[in-house]
Structure 1
């Protein structure tokens, strides 16, 4: 199976473009030429790795090769201002446009993440997993025209409940292209360019379908609009909504699912919520789910000596999230390790090769290991928080 190296080349192109502009600003013509050649070579590799975009990347590579051979003499470069005050050369409007498109495409595809997470890797969340599984399955089945798959799904709930893991599992189980979009990836340092990046992102997702575009901390990108909302943020929001509307077109049968996660769904305005008709509450795990999570994270060294019912009840009373339970298991394991290896720190004087010849002493976990761990793991979620989530879910969520 061919390995998709788009993400690696995309990152390199972004860095090379930054290096190119730095060299240009210093007047180092040799470095400018070298950087342009490097960008051209990277674009050729992108063409080889993306048959559907081969002509686009080869055309851009040809332009950058021409740029490398036509560097303006020092002091003769025409310069224009970008919106944010960053200077860039006007070698020619055509090469500038192509290089800009390539840069946005590269930045967008740097969000591509290879995920191996599958549904069975997630403990608990049975109802949530079922709803997401249905969403993915129905999009791939032959179906009547009146049965339309969801194009936007909002996952909301307290922090650490597994929203990102669910998105990864949806992509991993399907073998879909997974665009894991972080705020810093699209809130471009160039004023107003985030909307262009979003368009490049969705164009890439459509070409690499089946695709899942996942926006983490979605509220930070699209909070309820007010007078303080910047023009750049407004363009970004408009770009996301416009592209999602395009995916909902009756003639569009491509599988591009937008998943968004938020800890504060009440910060999203009505226009945003309308694009996510399926809103799934990812709540704190109940005791049965907690037991499943503990078994996943403590399978080695084992939990046969642990009263899992007791540990699960205590975790639920403490309002632990899935992430908190993972930390609890890690702390319990370390408590066991310290007991069995009291002089462990003294081995730090040994060379690494010698450490590789030795084996850590372990035993199955016990209740006391968890008892000490409970004192160190604190949940930030309160009863009032849970009431707020329940109330919002009753009014806007898929109960």
Structure 2
């Protein structure tokens, strides 16, 4: 069944409008899919088939995301992420406050902590340092959010899993390929935050007191830094076994086919034992699963509307328009990531929509799967922090900012994401693609 591109556009627009009006994103996406399919010419049976096919297409990603919940639960609930962040800030010292805050957020996001949670973890440290060093809350948020964005594209988080699975790649392939763009993003975040140190309201002890009231109590018996780093270290080592084998032609390692579905839970469990918290296995995995539930539901909704767009004539129309213009088809990858993430104010939802809806069209221009994944993935970080998404409001509360003050950082966060996207597009779209 092929539906009209008009139906796909109307369905996507309706879903975005409903999200903006605060209807649950999953229902918004499903309702947009149904209405778009009917307007596009499908009957009710065909509409059901489109929804089912679309949701089935993301099941591989869903399974891996659920598996990642074990690692995320261990890092967040054990206090390991807090320990890593505090250690980085303490070691670099207040002289390099901006660098240490951006780097710590990047690192704990890179090891599997969701970016909003990473900002929540580092925010109290940032406000405490900022109040002593007279740094503005705007600069602190740009450092945290920018560092988080850089870490988010090299992490085993749902967005990276979606980018890899969307183009039939290993998770480690995308994480490695995103590393250089991430470094540029980190550098841009540090530069912008440094320039903004005296711009806007200066962080104060009152801000710290305000957010402490809502802060979750830290777990008893925090692990040492050595114990805290075991989980991400095991995950990275296992994820890199096959790539290292391929690079150095090591036969045994080349034959190792460990999927993220196995690696991430194994790393979480080993880390839990290293921290001597094995007795908390049920609690940590339960909380990790709970944190993934909303993500999984949104991925299912995104898969449905991705199925609508894929079964419509819209991708072919895009290809035709690009072919008749003087624009390189390579740009479809980052643009798809930017637009879909902006529409949903979510990196992971933007990636799954972009790969599911425009993946085949992007590849039809001769773009390599890895290049496509990297450009879509980095593109999804450009405008994924808009007010109709959860991240905007979580980070505003974390820094004790009102909506007006929070809006002032949007342009600078966009600059960080755009920097990573430009670097990725130059590297993989034109130099090595």
Structure with greater helix percent: 2
Q: Same fold (TM over 0.5)?
A: no
Structure with greater strand percent: 1
**TM (normalized to structure 2)?**
0.25
Larger-Rg structure? 1
Which structure is higher in RCO with an 8 Å CA cutoff and minimum separation 6?
A: 2
